[in-house]
């Protein structure tokens, strides 16, 4: 079998996988780790794999991978199969270039510049800039890095002096990546102050003001505040407008972590949740989540052009950057040298759906989350754990019998997951476990939400009956 025939056979398997993903198929063919190890036999042997074994490897990987394009994958903040983005991703692997210079990535450079400009226009950054990077965590790191170097410019050359006592402030329900960033930057994770949030999960502005004042009184130097645009569990949006007034008054860098919920900015109906975003200094936006772009596709936007190069890199290495073309080399403002082409798959999808198409997809996600919330509220055995704010619906099942609710709901979730019928996530609100359903697949329909709840309730009732029988016995 020559390479062309092998390629054709490989693409046929990929096409079959895509077709099955659109049908009613298990979300996962679950196997215990030891069993899967025996099936896959992932160890590499001394001899090369033959063509038949190569094709078998494709079959096995696709069979046992989680089908994140399946509409019953409601587990993570990313979901869905995006055909135009898949094609764009495939083409970037085919051409295999890197994003540091226009010389090696002419088309990709112009496309990334256009995507950054488009995203900045939604954020209201009229003189903005930005770069694609390796995820929201990396974006939060670079934003904090830039803020540190703005307040302490010499730290770029001499390092961070711990005597400066820098402190950052985040929502108590913010992503853990801010503590990791502080650790990497030498600031220390303990110097990330978690500001109290209300029952709705939103940062309380007065609590931020008091936290800043206490830090100053304690001899610390506030320099960075992060608002969260959709917290991981509740999908809560911090009040940017009110917080921006506080950071302006104290001269602090204001960053928006929109890794999860930033794409809501595309919706005319719901972008009010990010009111004041144009007042922030930086904004992380992950199209690989609600825009369904294949992982990874993440951008850090900054309000002021030139900030990234000045605060982060400020270099001009002549063995890479030759200034031979009348176009900016994007590598000059990135902490990465080799960098994957991530903007092209976004470009393919955005071109394919158009601005209006993506706005409709965002509106549909909120409509599906609303439908899920209404389903919970209508059912006598389902309990909404917190009012829905965006794409996350947190709930649990309450059996008639007096049993441990945490253990019971986790058992329902695990039975569903291992059966391959649906995958949904969970978390804790205080000491109480909550099932978290996320509407992230842009092609979800009400029938998909209904199918999930039908399976969830069937599983819960079956387990409840079993526990009653065991108790009576």
CATH code: domain of residue 243: 3.40.640.10
**Domains: count for the chain:** 2
Residue 205 lies in a domain: yes
For residue 127, what pLDDT band results from cuts at 50, 70 and 90? very high
Given a contact cutoff of 8 angstroms between Cβ atoms, the answer to whether 248 and 278 are in contact is: no
For residue 334, pLDDT beyond 70 = yes
The per-residue pLDDT of the chain, averaged, comes to: 93
Residue 462 lies in a domain: no
The mean per-residue pLDDT over the stretch 136-140 comes to 96
Given a contact cutoff of 8 angstroms between Cβ atoms, the answer to whether 220 and 166 are in contact is: yes
Residue 200 lies in a domain: yes
Could you give the CA distance from residue 169 to residue 178 in angstroms, rounded to a whole number? Answer: 9
Answer with the one of 329, 349, 369 that is the final residue of a domain.
Answer: 349
Residue 306 shares a structural domain with residue 233? yes
Edge-to-edge order in the sheet of strand 382-384? 73-74, 423-429, 432-438, 392-397, 382-384
SS3 for 427? strand
**Residue in this structure with the two tokens 């205080």, named with its chain if needed:** 430
Residue 205 shares a structural domain with residue 286? yes
Q: How many helices (H) and strands (E) does the chain have?
A: 14, 12
Residue 191 shares a structural domain with residue 283? yes
Residue 246 CB neighbours (<10 A): 18
For residue 469, what pLDDT band results from cuts at 50, 70 and 90? low
Lowest-confidence segment of 96-110, 158-172, 311-325, 353-367 by average pLDDT: 311-325
**Residue in this structure with the two tokens 């996530």, named with its chain if needed:** 425
Residue 337 lies in a domain: yes
The share of the chain scoring above pLDDT 90, in percent, equals 83
Residue 424 lies in a domain: no
For residue 23, what pLDDT band results from cuts at 50, 70 and 90? low
* 470 cis-preceded (ω within 30 degrees of 0): no
Answer with the one of 349, 376, 392 that is the final residue of a domain.
Answer: 349
The mean per-residue pLDDT over the stretch 3-23 comes to 86
The mean per-residue pLDDT over the stretch 120-141 comes to 97
pLDDT value of residue 470: 59
The mean per-residue pLDDT over the stretch 189-212 comes to 97
Residue 94 shares a structural domain with residue 37? no
The mean per-residue pLDDT over the stretch 317-338 comes to 78
Lowest-confidence segment of 176-180, 256-260, 402-406 by average pLDDT: 402-406
Give the tens place of pLDDT for each residue, 345-374.
999 999 999 999 999 999 999 999 999 999
For residue 20, what pLDDT band results from cuts at 50, 70 and 90? confident
Give the tens place of pLDDT for each residue, 449-463.
999 999 999 999 999
The mean per-residue pLDDT over the stretch 422-447 comes to 97
For residue 473, what pLDDT band results from cuts at 50, 70 and 90? very low
Residue 222 shares a structural domain with residue 137? yes
Residue 28 shares a structural domain with residue 125? no
Residue 203 lies in a domain: yes
pLDDT value of residue 315: 62
Give the tens place of pLDDT for each residue, 58-89.
999 999 999 999 999 999 999 999 999 999 99
The mean per-residue pLDDT over the stretch 216-242 comes to 97
pLDDT value of residue 466: 79
Residue 242 lies in a domain: yes
The mean per-residue pLDDT over the stretch 182-186 comes to 95
pLDDT value of residue 328: 83
For residue 311, what pLDDT band results from cuts at 50, 70 and 90? confident
193, 196, 200, 206 alpha-carbon torsion, rounded to 10°: -110
For residue 313, what pLDDT band results from cuts at 50, 70 and 90? low
Residue 63 shares a structural domain with residue 190? no
For residue 335, pLDDT beyond 70 = yes
Q: Which residue has the higher pLDDT, 329 or 399?
A: 399
Residue 200 shares a structural domain with residue 134? yes
The mean per-residue pLDDT over the stretch 326-347 comes to 90
Residue 158 shares a structural domain with residue 194? yes
For residue 314, pLDDT beyond 90 = no
Please enumerate in sequence order all residues whose Cβ is within 8 A of that of 366, keeping only pairs 6 or more positions apart, or say none: 264, 267, 269, 270, 390, 391, 439
* Residue ranges making up the domain that contains 41: 3-67
For residue 97, pLDDT beyond 50 = yes
SS3 for 426? strand
Residue 442 lies in a domain: no
Q: Which residue has the higher pLDDT, 416 or 328?
A: 416
Residue 269 shares a structural domain with residue 297? yes
For residue 382, what pLDDT band results from cuts at 50, 70 and 90? very high
pLDDT value of residue 330: 84
Could you give the CA distance from residue 301 to residue 140 in angstroms, rounded to a whole number? Answer: 11
For residue 235, what pLDDT band results from cuts at 50, 70 and 90? very high
pLDDT value of residue 94: 95
Residue 106 shares a structural domain with residue 239? yes
The mean per-residue pLDDT over the stretch 264-286 comes to 98
Q: Is the dihedral of CA 324, 326, 331, 333 positive or negative?
A: positive
Residue 310 shares a structural domain with residue 240? yes
Pairing of strands 282-285, 253-258: parallel
Given a contact cutoff of 8 angstroms between Cβ atoms, the answer to whether 309 and 332 are in contact is: yes
Answer with the one of 349, 380, 398 that is the final residue of a domain.
Answer: 349
């Amino acid at each position: 079998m020559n390479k062309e025939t092998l390629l054709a056979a490989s693409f046929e398997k990929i096409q079959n996988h895509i077709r099955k993903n659109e049908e009613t198929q298990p979300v996962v063919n679950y196997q215990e780790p030891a069993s899967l190890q025996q099936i896959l036999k992932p160890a590499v042997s001394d001899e090369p794999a033959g063509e038949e074994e190569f094709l078998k490897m494709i079959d096995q990987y696709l069979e046992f991978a989680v089908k994140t394009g399946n509409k019953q994958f409601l587990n993570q903040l990313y979901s869905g199969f995006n055909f135009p983005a898949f094609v764009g991703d495939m083409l970037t692997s085919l051409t295999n270039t890197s994003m540091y210079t226009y010389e090696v990535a002419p088309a990709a450079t112009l496309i990334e510049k256009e995507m950054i400009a488009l995203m900045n226009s939604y954020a209201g950054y009229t003189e903005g800039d930005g770069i694609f990077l390796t995820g929201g965590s990396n974006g939060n790191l670079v934003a904090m890095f830039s803020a540190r170097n703005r307040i302490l410019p010499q730290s770029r050359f001499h390092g961070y002096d711990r005597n400066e006592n820098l402190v950052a402030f985040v929502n108590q329900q913010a992503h853990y990546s801010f503590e990791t960033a502080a650790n990497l930057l030498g600031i220390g994770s303990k110097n990330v102050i978690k500001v109290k949030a209300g029952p709705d999960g939103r940062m309380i502005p007065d609590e931020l003001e008091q936290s800043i004042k206490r830090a100053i009184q304690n001899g610390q130097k506030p320099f960075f505040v992060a608002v969260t645009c959709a917290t991981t569990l509740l999908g809560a949006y911090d009040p940017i407008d009110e917080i921006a007034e506080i950071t302006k008054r104290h001269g602090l860098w204001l960053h928006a972590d929109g890794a999860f919920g930033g794409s809501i900015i595309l919706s005319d109906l719901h972008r009010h949740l990010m009111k004041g975003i144009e007042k922030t200094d930086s904004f992380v936006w992950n199209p690989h989540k609600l825009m369904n772009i294949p992982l990874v596709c993440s951008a850090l936007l900054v309000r002021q052009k030139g900030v990234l190069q000045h605060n982060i890199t400020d270099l001009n290495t002549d063995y890479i950057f030759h200034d031979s073309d009348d176009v900016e080399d994007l590598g000059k403002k990135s902490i990465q040298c080799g960098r994957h082409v991530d903007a092209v798959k976004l470009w393919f999808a955005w071109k394919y759906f158009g601005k209006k198409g993506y706005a409709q997809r965002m509106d549909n996600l909120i409509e599906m989350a609303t439908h899920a919330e209404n389903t919970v509220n209508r059912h006598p055995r389902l309990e909404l754990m917190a009012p829905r704010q965006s794409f996350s619906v947190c709930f649990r099942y309450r059996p008639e019998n007096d049993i441990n609710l945490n253990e019971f709901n986790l058992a329902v979730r695990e039975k569903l997951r291992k059966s391959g019928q649906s995958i949904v996530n969970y978390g804790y609100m205080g000491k109480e476990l909550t099932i978290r359903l996320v509407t992230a697949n842009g092609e979800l329909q009400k029938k998909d939400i209904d199918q999930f709840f039908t399976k969830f309730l069937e599983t819960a009732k079956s387990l409840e009956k079993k526990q009653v029988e065991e108790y009576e016995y």
